[in-house]
Amino acid sequence: MNHIELTARIAEVSPLRYTPAGLPATNLVLDHESEQAEAGAQRQVKLSIKAVTFGTLAEQVSRLDLSQAFRFRGFLASARTNKSIVFHIQELNTL
């Protein structure tokens, strides 16, 4: 199964663009910070991840308040270059 749920803030959002098929798309960078239990100890976790949205969700994301945290749901896929991972966001909710 490839299902990701991540609470994060939008660190960067690109202007709304359109795919060659005419589908709205937005590229983002998400920042996450939390404390996680690992090997019996608490650990501070920080990460930034590239993300993308398509369709009506892309149009919504282009108008969001960047200072707010959101819960994102979607899946991971290889970037076009196959050198990195991109989080494909399929749903988002405010916290």
Q: Is the CB of residue 70 less than 8 Å from the CB of residue 13?
A: no
CA distance 53 to 13: 10
The predicted-structure confidence for 33-57, as pLDDT tens digits, reads as follows: 999 999 999 999 999 999 999 999 9
CA distance 39 to 74: 27
pTM of the complete model = 0.91
Report domain extents, the chain.
4-94
| 4-94: CATH number | 2.40.50.140
In the predicted structure, residue 81 carries a pLDDT above the cut 80: no
Where does 1-95 show beta strands of DSSP type E?
4-13, 17-18, 24-38, 41-54, 69-78, 85-94
95 by DSSP, 3-state: which? Answer: coil
